[in-house]
C-alpha cells in the first residue's frame, strides 16, 4: 500500500483480531500482539454513539467497521495517529 505505515510484506501481522471501545478509548489488538489505543474523541461519530452501537464492531483485514454507524477506520490511519479533522479534546471542546 503506497504511503502506508505498513509494508506489503508484513500486512498480515497488522490485521486486527480484536476491537473494543470504552467510554474514552478505542482499543484494537493486532495479529502481531500490538495493542493500539486511541482516544475516542479522535472519532466524533464514535464518541457520540451509544455504548451498544459503539461496541458492535466488525473486523476486516485492514481495519474496523461499525455497520450501525456507517463508520470505518483503517489500522494504517490509527498507526499514523490520524484523527478526524477538527476533532478536539473534551476539555478544549467545552470551551
Residue-wise pLDDT for 32-83, tens only, equals 999 999 999 999 999 999 999 999 999 999 999 999 999 999 999 999 999 9
90: CB partners within 8 A, 6+ apart: 41
Q: Grid coordinates in use for 7?
A: 509494508
The greatest distance separating any two alpha carbons of the chain, rounded to the nearest whole angstrom, comes to 45
20: CB partners within 8 A, 6+ apart: 26, 27, 55, 57
**What structural domains does the chain harbor?**
8-84 (3.30.2020.40)
Give me the mean pLDDT over the 20-34 stretch: 95
Strands 58-60 and 63-66: antiparallel
pLDDT value of position 7: 56
Amino acid at each position: 500500500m503506497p504511503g502506508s505505515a505498513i509494508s506489503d510484506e508484513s500486512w498480515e501481522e497488522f490485521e486486527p483480531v480484536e476491537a473494543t471501545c470504552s467510554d474514552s478509548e478505542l482499543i484494537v489488538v493486532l495479529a502481531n500482539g500490538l495493542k493500539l489505543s486511541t482516544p475516542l474523541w479522535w472519532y466524533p461519530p464514535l464518541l457520540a454513539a451509544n455504548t451498544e452501537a459503539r461496541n458492535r464492531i466488525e473486523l476486516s483485514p485492514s481495519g474496523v467497521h461499525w455497520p450501525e454507524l456507517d463508520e470505518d477506520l483503517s489500522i494504517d490511519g490509527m498507526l499514523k495517529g490520524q484523527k478526524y479533522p477538527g476533532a478536539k479534546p473534551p476539555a478544549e471542546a467545552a470551551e
